[in-house]
Amino acid sequence: MNSEIVYQVAKALPKEEQLLLFEKLKKDFMFSKTNNKISSKQLKKEDAIDYLLAHVFNK
């Protein structure tokens, strides 16, 4: 299944169902977007050194 087929099926839905589908997709994209922001957070140099000393070189 590709996006063109899904798009055609979604367009064939009644307006009420299209709106429900849109809300569900919007929630999924908002959730994944916030997860990406958290993972791309940059550490300060001191924080990185502290993490390495505590978790990597502490064994």
Domain boundaries, the chain: 3-56
**Beta-carbon contacts of residue 3 (< 8 Å; ≥ 6 apart):** none
State the pLDDT confidence band at 57, using cuts at 50, 70 and 90.
confident
> Mean of the per-residue pLDDT values for the chain?
80
State the pLDDT confidence band at 16, using cuts at 50, 70 and 90.
very high
